[in-house]
């Protein structure tokens, strides 16, 4: 595997489910990011981890819970989501916080 | 604070015509600037970046962008559009003086007519 990978690519979940999104980067980077991309809205930065420490949390609801066990892996744990949370969730990594970012293909999430 | 404005949410060109996608930025310190492209159902791919070296930056797929400090612009161009260029394009800015987050523009969707 090369670059940034995300699994699953598509996810449909009910409002009472719990699921997790996974991101893995094979670039040796130190920073990882979660973004939300909704139709007709700008990219929304959700969380940033630098050297496995959370450095930014942009007022994201607590039903989204990130986890960064090491510099190569990033998870987004989801529970009791709302239909408006349906979106493309993108993971990215960069050499360090603030450098150009490399994106994964995204997980298309649909909340029913 | 940094910000990015992309003029035109949609741009339509004929195949073979010049592509011009506009990006203006504001930054209190010298910026680093980026253009990303997103094809349908995919993540963002880095097209090119400006990091204070040459003001004319060449990227992948025949795209280039020119940093103009006096106009606070970083417009993306390609001399001849190809059908495969149809995608959404994002301009982004960050500070050059310290670690800071990327600020993305709202994106411009490029349509290429046969």
| Interface membership of B66 toward A (CB under 8 Å) | no
* Cβ distance of B46 and A98 shorter than 8 Å: no
Count H helices and E strands in chain B, helices first: 0, 11
Backbone dihedral angles phi then psi of residue A73, each to the nearest 5 degrees? -125, 140
* Cβ distance of B101 and A90 shorter than 8 Å: no
A1-5, B5-9, B94-98: segment of lowest average pLDDT? B94-98
- Cα B87–Cα A111–Cα A90 angle in degrees, nearest 5: 40
pLDDT of A12-34, one tens digit each?
998 888 999 999 999 999 999 99
More confident residue, A31 or B53: A31
Q: Is B71 helix (H, G, I), strand (E, B) or coil?
A: helix
Alpha-carbon torsion angle B35, B40, B41, B42, nearest 10:
-30
Residue ranges of chain A whose CB lies within 8 Å of a chain B CB: 4, 6, 42-43, 45, 48, 50, 56, 90, 92, 96-106, 108
* Chain B residue nearest residue A50, CA to CA: B99
Spell out which residues of chain A touch residue B99, defining contact as CB-CB under 8 Å: 50, 96-98
Tell me what pLDDT residue A1 has.
Answer: 62
* Chain B residue nearest residue A105, CA to CA: B43
Output the CA–CA distances (angstroms, integers) from residue A47 to A50, A69, B8, B9, B62, in the order listed. Answer: 10, 14, 28, 26, 33
Q: What distance lies between CA A59 and its chain's CA centroid?
A: 15
Q: Of B63, B62, B51, whose CA–CA distance to B90 is shortest?
A: B63
What residues in chain A have per-residue pLDDT under 50?
none
More confident residue, B96 or B14: B14
- Model confidence band, residue B25 (pLDDT cutoffs 50, 70, 90): very high
Across the range B108-112, mean pLDDT stands at 97
Tell me what pLDDT residue B100 has.
Answer: 64
- Residue B72 exposed, middle or buried by CB count within 10 Å (0-12, 13-18, 19+): middle
| Interface membership of B25 toward A (CB under 8 Å) | no
* Chain B residue nearest residue A44, CA to CA: B104
* Cβ distance of B107 and A90 shorter than 8 Å: no
Q: Is A85 helix (H, G, I), strand (E, B) or coil?
A: helix
Whether the pLDDT of residue B86 is over 90: the answer is yes
| Interface membership of B62 toward A (CB under 8 Å) | no
More confident residue, A38 or B97: A38
Q: Is B58 helix (H, G, I), strand (E, B) or coil?
A: strand
Tell me what pLDDT residue A16 has.
Answer: 87
More confident residue, A14 or B99: A14
Alpha-carbon torsion angle B5, B11, B15, B20, nearest 10:
-30
Tell me what pLDDT residue B98 has.
Answer: 56
* Cβ distance of A106 and B34 shorter than 8 Å: no
Residue reference for tokens 């949370």: A85
């Amino acid at each position: 595997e090369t670059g940034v990978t995300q699994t699953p690519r598509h996810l449909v979940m009910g409002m009472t489910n719990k699921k997790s999104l996974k991101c893995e980067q094979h670039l040796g980077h130190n920073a990882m990011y979660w973004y939300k991309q909704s139709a007709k809205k700008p990219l929304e930065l959700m969380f940033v981890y630098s050297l496995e420490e959370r450095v930014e949390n942009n007022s994201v609801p607590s039903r989204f819970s990130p986890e960064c066990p090491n510099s190569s892996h990033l998870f987004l744990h989801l529970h009791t989501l709302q239909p408006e949370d349906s979106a493309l969730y993108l993971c990215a990594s960069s050499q360090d916080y603030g450098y150009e970012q490399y994106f994964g293909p995204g997980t298309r999430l649909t909340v029913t | 604070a940094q910000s990015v404005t992309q003029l035109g949410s949609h741009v339509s060109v004929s195949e073979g015509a010049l592509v011009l996608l506009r990006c203006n930025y504001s930054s209190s310190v010298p910026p680093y600037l980026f253009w990303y492209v997103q094809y349908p159902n995919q993540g963002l791919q880095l097209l090119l970046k400006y990091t204070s070296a040459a003001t004319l930056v060449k990227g992948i797929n025949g795209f280039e962008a020119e940093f103009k400090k006096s106009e606070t612009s970083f417009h993306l161009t390609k001399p001849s559009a190809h059908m495969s260029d149809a995608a959404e394009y994002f301009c982004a800015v960050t500070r050059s003086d310290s670690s800071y987050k990327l600020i993305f523009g709202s994106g411009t969707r490029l349509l290429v007519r046969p």
